[in-house]
Structures are given as structure tokens and as C-alpha cells.
Structure 1
């Protein structure tokens, strides 16, 4: 069933959230704990300083927290014709590492709408600018808009019975334009901000030298265990209140075999797997993944995710490499395709 509104006419709808998000040192630690990332630069100022950073470095997928808050107005009000959304693709473009103390301004745009197999695939682009006016990161999130005909009729009541109460209001756009099929014209132009070049010009302090890698090299495998407690903790830290990640009844009504791990949690685990090998969390310049399956986490049994990686290509001119990342759980590939571009010393 198609959405009961002209979603294609909303392409280009954008707004800037009217308040900044201040990155806290303890929030970085909370998030690092939630994605099981023990890299010292996320925990210790002295370790971050040794890598040339002025404060704790946020894990690669940390900006998803900021996007979760920034996108609420778009998802809850502008795209209110859908009953739920399913996350399918995610891309992070890194231009400058996010550090403790950064004040991030969020620009939100519905940048693409495609109709595939009778479903609407919506791409939301988040552009994050810091206090210096430079773009530090751009996120592209693709979701499938699900209408009432595609879900169990009882799911809304089930969600209402378990969802967290007292949620803060959705962050309001800087311009109070009506939610129409046309983008607000008085929004700050994203193009006016310049993309930082820090991530592409700073000297990486990686544990691996570019001269020591070759196409086909494999990263040391790592297996991560996820429990219901891990999912609940991540939900609270990241602000993802979707109960399919912690409530069996809602998961079943959504057509799932049991509670499943968040796609962004799996991506965060994958980023930590790569930065543990790299030794420098600021050396990632792009991370993209197609979320094709999920990790089931039972009430009394943990879910395991095995991460492996292989160097797909290298570029001597830029001293960069592309790593193909694989994540498997119970024999299923969680990522349809996932790649991480890194710079090496």
C-alpha cells in the first residue's frame, strides 16, 4: 500500500534544528561502553592527546545519537503517513573527528525517495557542523516506510503499552515552516558550511603502516556477545526507543522471531573492531553498510556476532585502504555489504 500523501513531493525538505548538541566526555564513555569499544582514546584524555586530539574522541558512529534527536520532527510530523520505519542502509562520511566539547548543529534533509518492490525507500541526510562552522560529518540513512497494511493491527497498542513515557518534545526546526511538499526557503544553506579537511590531512597515528598492508590481507577476527542487557543499555544511551529491541510481544507482532539487536549497535561494534586493528579512531574517513539481516537475542541466551575484515583495495597516493567488513550471527550475514575507508601512516 502506498503512503496516503505525496512523499516524492517532499524530496528536498530540510531544516536546521534550533539548538546545538554538546558532546560530553561522559556521553562518549557511555556510548563506547554500549558498543563495547575499549579504545583508550574514547576513555582517557592522555591517550587521546597521544594521538593528537584535544579531548576524548567519539566512536565512529556516535553521531547517530545526534541524528536520532534531530530527525524526530521529520519522522514524527512530516512523514507521519507511515506507521513505522525499517533501517536498511547507513553511510557515515567523516571530515573531522568528533571530540568532547564539540557543539554540533544538525541540518536534516529528506534527500531521496525511491519506490522499490512496492515500498518507499527514504534517504535522510544529516549534516553536522561544529562551533567553528566546519562540517565534521555527514550521515545518509535509508529507511523503508511501512504503512498499516504491512504490520499487525495490534502493534500500535502493544507499543503504546510498553514505550517509555515522558519523552522530551521533538527538537523544533529553526524555521517554523508548514509541513508541505516544498522545502522551507528560509533555512540556513548547508552549502555555506565548508567540509573540514582534518580527517584527510592530519597525520594518522595508526598501529599499521601503509607499507605493511596488501590487498587480500585479513584483519584478526573478533566475536562479540550481546545480551538483552546490552540491548537495553544501547537503547537508553543512543535514544532508540523501538521496543523490537527489548520486548518479545512487539517483536513478534512486527514479524520477527524474537528481540533483535539494533542495526546501529552492530555497526558500532564493527567500527570498534576496525579501529582496534587501526589503533587510531580518527583514521576512519567513510563507513557504509547495508543492513540485510539481524542478530536475534533471546531472553536467556546471548547472541553472538563474529566480525571479520579483508583489505579490498589500497591507494598509494592517498595512503588509504578500503576494508570489507563482514558480520555474521547464527550463520546469517548481518551486512549485505559493508566497507570502511581508512588512512594509514
Structure 2
């Protein structure tokens, strides 16, 4: 079957990672550095203890590491008809029930909720549920992935990617890899399940441990958050690629980026999403105050090889919930006049 047939046949089927992912304290610090989140609870145990947690708290979008790992395993094992170098995320949302903490052993359950075709692109919506070793529900995520299937584009990109992408990731190398790797390295890392997916928590549930520094009574609908401008260089892109595991060559190779129809090397969408979460954390004063965060990606920040680019983040209070003392924040991110987020909102708990 080709990729489209495989994806269509997978709708509603349930898959699980065969091994857990352990959240490490140094990985939390690496990720926090990559997304410019310098809240003390990501760096020092005593600051995390003050917020009521047993170890360092991971930044809000840290789970993108696990979600990318799962996506790669899925395309390596059950969606083999696609070239992973042509798969992009167009939308990502994360609902946090409890922050990820150093020492959590994460289990990930996923299934494709829907599949549709539009021209030469296939769109899949994947729901993923993260739990830990104690079966606590930690996060629920929805990812919309777009896979390009046009034959002419595929041929051009495969040629551009070959020899540039990380060894073993190109389509031609993936097709040949089984003849060169030992059996234990060929295990897919995921399997199909036939039990029910873990349930979602009540949408009105309020986390008990929130130490937000922003007063609910001080806000009104339309209140503007302080503007923040974040510099971005090729070094930042390389660092994020290594920390997150996102090795798509459009983020480091001019040749591949142009072949993909882009003006040049561009930032990772999930990096800009992570920087947006850090912008919110800096305003709120508590990473655990962000309970929901979703972004529909509209564009990429172009990053020159010789000078830094800049991303400007702005926020505005869109709605207020007096019962939960919560706010909906609408975010914008722009770079060189280009809009990076088509829609971005966050639900935050206030003091």
C-alpha cells in the first residue's frame, strides 16, 4: 500500500510505545535553554520544591520530544509509504493535566483520529496521551501532520535530501536499512493495542499547585501582555534540532529548503511554539499555570546563515473565566513582517 492507503486504514486504530521515555533533569535544562525558558523551576530543584514538585519541572512544550519520537516510529513502522522528510506539522495542541517532572517514566498511547486528502497533501490528526509509571494522566496532545505525496515534488526533494539528512533518515536509506542493521536496532518501538485509550480528565479540573504571579482581578478582556523580541540564529536551530530530535534538513540546508519551495532555511514550527510558551511563562511566573496551549502554524521564520533573525511575541487577554480564575490568551508571533501563527491560544490559571 502507498502512504495514503496506509494512513486511511489506520484511522481509529490504537498504538502504544513499547518502552517508556524517562524525563531527565539534564534534558529538562537542555530543552529549557533551547526554548529560552529561564524560570528557576526548570533549573533548580529548590525552586521546583517551592512550587510543590519533587523534581525539576519540564517546560510546557517538552513533550514535543516524545511526540516527535512517536511520529518517527510511526512512519518507520506502519506509515512506511511516506518520505518522512516531506512530513510537516501544521497544528499542535497540548492540554496539561500535571507538568512533566524529572523522573517521570512516560508512556505514550496514540491513534489517528482522522485522515483527509487535499491535492497532493495528506492530512492526519493524531491524538496522543501521556501517562507515567503511576498511571497518572499528564498530557493530552493533538497533532496535525501534513505529508506531501506529489510525485514530481517527491523526486526533487529525495534528490536534495539524499546525503544531507541525518544518516538512515532519507527515503532511499530507510528502504535499505534493514540489510545493514542488527535485529535489535530494527525493532519499531511501538505496537498496536486493542484496549481502550486512557481517558481524558475533566475539562473543569483545576490543578491544586499553581503559584501564578498574575492577579485575575487586575486583568480585563483586551489587556495587552508586554511585547518580547527573541533573536534567532542558525546556531539556535542546530541546537534545537539536536535537543528535540527534529532533523528535518529544511532547518539547516539551504539546498533542501529551496527544493521544498521555501525561501531558505527556516525555524522549526515547534521551536517557535516553545518560545511562545516561554514568553507566557515569563509573564505568569509559574510554568504550571499554562493548562492548554495550541498553535496553528501559518509560516516560518527565515534564518540567515550570517545574521540573527528576530521573532516578536505579543499577547492579549481574549476571555476571562471568573469561576476558575482563568484567562484565554491570544498569541501572535511575527518575523520580518511574516505571521508565524495562524491561530495561537493558551488557557492559563491566575492568582
Aligned residue in 2 for 1:11: 11
- Other-structure match for 1:181: none
**Whole-angstrom CA distance in 2 between matches of 1:271 and 1:40:** 15
Cα deviation for residue 78 of structure 1 reads: 2.1
Gaps of 5+ in 1: 176-183
Distance across 2 between alignment mates of 1:7 and 1:250: 26
Residue 172 in structure 1 maps to residue 189 in structure 2 = yes
C-alpha distance in 2, partners of 1:134/1:269?
27
Asked if 1:270 is matched to 2:276, the reply is: yes
Query: What are the superposed Cα offsets for residues 227-273 of structure 1, whole Å, 9 maximum, x if unpaired?
Result: 00000000000000101000111111111111000000000000000
User: Quick check: 1:97–1:199 contact (8 Å CA) kept in 2?
Assistant: no
1:147 aligns to what? 149
- Equivalent position SS for 2:206: helix
Q: What secondary structure is seen at the aligned counterpart in 1 of 2:225?
A: strand
Which among 88, 91, 97 is matched to residue 90 of structure 2?
88
- Out of 93, 98, 101, the residue aligned to residue 99 of structure 1 is 101
Give 1:205's aligned residue.
211
Structure 2 equivalent of residue 307 of structure 1: 313
**Pairs within 5 Å for 1:307-326:** 307-326=313-332
Cα separation, partners in 2 of 1:327 and 1:265, compared to 1, 3 Å: same
Structure 2: runs of 5 or more not aligned: 170-184
Separation in 2, partners of 1:79, 1:254: 21
Is the partner of 1:295 in helix, strand or coil? coil
Aligned residues: 333
Distance (whole Å) between structure 1 residues aligned to residue 144 and residue 283 of structure 2 = 28
Residue 3 of structure 1 and its aligned partner are, at CA, apart by 5.4
Deviations 1:188-227 (A, max 9, x none): 4223x56499972314211111111111111110001110
Q: Deviations over 1:274-302 (max 9, x none)?
A: 01000000011100111011100010021
Q: Contact 1:199–1:285 (CA<8 Å) still a contact in 2?
A: no
Which residue number in structure 2 is paired with residue 238 of structure 1? 244
1:153-164 alignment, distance < 5 Å: 153-164=155-166
- Name the counterpart of 1:119: 121
- 1:199–1:29: structure 2 CA closer, same or farther, 3 Å change rule? farther
CA-atom RMSD, angstroms?
2.1
CA positional deviation for 1:117: 5.0
**Distance of aligned partners of 1:170 and 1:195 in 2 relative to their CA distance in 1, 3 Å threshold:** farther
Structure 1 segments of 4 or more deviating over 6 A? 196-199
Does residue 217 of the first structure (1) align with residue 223 of the second (2)? yes
Q: Is the 8 A contact 2:14 2:197 kept in 1?
A: no
Per the normalisation by structure 2, the TM-score is 0.89
Is the alpha carbon distance of 1:67 and 1:317 closer, same or farther for their aligned partners in structure 2, counting shifts above 3 Å? same
Provide Cα deviations, 1:21-78, integer angstroms capped at 9, x if missing partner.
0000000000000011111111111111122221111000000101111222322332
User: Distance between the aligned counterparts of 2:119 and 2:160, measured in 1?
Assistant: 28
Residue 166 (structure 1) shift: 6.4
Deviation by residue 1:159-195 (Cα, 9 ceiling, x = unmatched):
220222367657422x4xxxxxxxx4x444223x564
State the distance in 1 between where 2:154 and 2:35 align: 31
Q: Aligned partners of 1:240, 1:309: CA distance in 2, in Å?
A: 27
Contact residue 20 and residue 106 of structure 2 kept, 8 A: yes
Distance in 2 (CA, whole Å) between partners of 1:145 and 1:218 is: 37
Taking the aligned partners of 2:154 and 2:13, their CA distance within structure 1 comes to 30
| Cα contact 1:121–1:142 (8 A) shared by 2 | yes
Which region of structure 1 is more displaced relative to structure 2, 272-281 or 12-21?
Answer: 12-21
Q: CA–CA distance in 2 between the matches of 1:96 and 1:137?
A: 7
Could you say what secondary structure the match of 2:163 adopts?
A: helix
C-alpha distance in 2 between matches for 1:242 and 1:170: 22
Q: Distance in 2 between matches of 1:169 and 1:88?
A: 29
The correspondence of residues 48-67 of structure 1 with structure 2, limited to 5 A, is 48-67=48-67
* Greater alpha carbon shift after TM alignment, 304-313 vs 80-89: 80-89
